[in-house]
Amino acid sequence: MQDGVEGDGMPFPVTETVLRRGQERYNVYCSPCHSRVGNGKGRIVERGYYQATSFHSDRLRRAPLGHFFSVITNGYGAMPDYAAQLSPQDRWAVAAYIRALQLSQSATQQDVPPGKTVSPIDSVSEQSGLPANFLDSWTGSPVQSISASSEPSMAGFAPSSASLKTLPSGENGGHQTAAPAQVAAKEANGDAGKGKKIYMENCAVCHQPTRAGMPPIFPSLLGIVDRVGETRVRTVARTGIPDAKPPMPPHPNLTDKDITDLIAFLRSK
């Protein structure tokens, strides 16, 4: 604040190192809602949460840098504060990176060094051999992959145990396989390693890679199986909680084995 109003300056020089730090922190804490390009269509919006504000509106393009620092520190509307997650220096770095994101979507020739040109993104797509409308439906999601063939991503889909075979010793090129009893026990109790991968692909975007969540918006999943029981976790993973605020979506892509593996990971320390 400067004289009681939000100031439009940085307390330290903005170097490339500062911007890279701001990008890294932004991608971790801001992109799930605001997307990596800042258009407000992050991954959790695809999961039923309210669409976040786009940083590319005229209002936020004109907003002073102090406004972004204030919102990160204190929260704003449905957005919680991130004072505990981001140090003051990191909050300023994120604010600087947001300004860079805004410039990237509205740059003029005067904004780039001599010899460089500003090109519309659709022309860049065409130069790469892609259709001009390639990015029309892109939401800026941080983890959704895009392919030229438009084939759906297989992230989050694991083969069922019925489709997997355990080869007897010597049938797989000489490598020793696990004993049938060990395999059966691991399938019954769940594979925490596979469960971690399922968690990262389906749950971490809201509940965080640490499983600590972002209370009160996204609850912590640390110790969740002991608190509510395996049956409840299995039901919620499958059907979601549609009347929650924000609603938790269902995950029909997860098989029973996937959920067993996920529960094994949630039980792990």
User: Is the preceding omega at residue 216 within 30 degrees of 0, hence cis?
Assistant: yes
- pLDDT surpasses 70 at 16: yes
Question: Among 235, 265, 261, which residue's Cα sits nearest to residue 250?
Answer: 235
How is residue 38 written in tokens? 């800042």
* Cα→Cα distances 249→86, 136, 233, 246, Å: 28, 25, 14, 9
- pLDDT surpasses 90 at 87: yes
Structural domains in the chain, sorted by start: 16-111 (1.10.760.10), 161-170+177-267 (1.10.760.10)
Each residue's pLDDT tens digit, 178-223: 455 554 555 578 999 999 999 988 888 788 889 998 887 888 999 9
pTM of this structure: 0.51
